[in-house]
Amino acid sequence: MQPNKTVETALATVGAILWILQGFPQIWKSYHTKSTKGVSPHMMIIWAISSLFFMVYGITRSLAIPSIIQVHFSFVVFSISWVQCLYYSHGYSLKKAIACGAIWTLACAGFEIGSIFGLWAAQDHGTEIPMVAYGYMSSVVCVIGLLPQYYEIYVQKEVVGLSYMFIFTDIVGGLFYIFALMFRPKLDISAMVIYVLTIGMMILILVLALILNPKAAKRRRLEGIEKPTTADDSTSATVIALPTEKVQGSSEVKEKFHNDEYHSDSEPECGPSTPTGMEPHHEVPILEFHPEAPQHHQELEELKYDSEAAQKV
């Protein structure tokens, strides 16, 4: 393609806008859910380092202004996401997490300024090798940064925590950047590598989400079906245990109020009969035995009417 600065800037501007906006859905999702489960803090901090190298490279290489602005925004977004991971998932207090983010940002700002002047000095001496090294270093670190996220996906058995809007805008923004590079006087291989790698690895995350997430949802549905069955089983066990307690209580009542030495054809074994028409297996005794008051010439024990027991019946 013919070099065209206007087209390059326009395409890079679209890519920059998309990559600037890409991080906000992820930040909002973590803030709204108060959780960064499934988001690797290592990926965020490593991507911030990758952005740091590309910030230096973009300025020293005089890339399109939108690209330079965008990569600085990306650095800020990744750093904020890292701070969120410290706060929501690693037990850091809010003040401690913010302090870590502030120290990290100041250190990176010093590194960027020193690297820019160092690379310009090397360029003045006729060598661009350190500058190119920064570009490839950004690509290598970007790839390394996604490895912890893949491990997080492996542990969770699904893609969780990541915003799909974040992934989608990252892919589309990378495509616009690639198109913008084609309108430069000379194709920048280092920049092309980082854009292609970013797009390819984000597409892989989408593929993993399409494969793993339906399986995880099915697994959760099956677990949800099994849980009520377990609850019913435990309830049945409780219900079965209750009659045992009642039977034991009845035995105690029987042993307390029934005299085995007393026999009568009109009274069943479980207790004396009553004129109320109740079945003989009732558990509340009406008659109470008092063996301490024997009758003359009889071995039978005196029976005393228990009014409280009768009222219970």
pLDDT tens track for 255-292:
444 444 444 444 444 444 444 444 444 455 544 545 55
Residues of the chain with pLDDT under 50: 227-282, 286-287, 289, 293-303
Domain boundaries defined on the chain: 5-226, 258-313
pTM of the shown model: 0.59
**CA max distance for the chain:** 135
Report yes or no: 33 and 162 within 8 Å, Cβ to Cβ.
Answer: no
The pLDDT, as a whole number, for residue 102 is: 94
Using only the alpha carbons of the chain, give its radius of gyration: 40
Strands 301-305, 287-294: pairing is: antiparallel
- What is the token pair recorded at 290? 């008092």
Average pLDDT of every residue of the chain: 75
Q: How far is CA 212 from CA 159, 163, 206, 228, in A?
A: 7, 16, 10, 26
The pLDDT, as a whole number, for residue 151 is: 87
- What is the token pair recorded at 251? 């035995």
DSSP 275: T
Report yes or no: 142 and 202 within 8 Å, Cβ to Cβ.
Answer: no
The pLDDT, as a whole number, for residue 83 is: 94
The pLDDT, as a whole number, for residue 89 is: 86
The pLDDT, as a whole number, for residue 308 is: 57
The pLDDT, as a whole number, for residue 234 is: 41
The pLDDT, as a whole number, for residue 110 is: 94
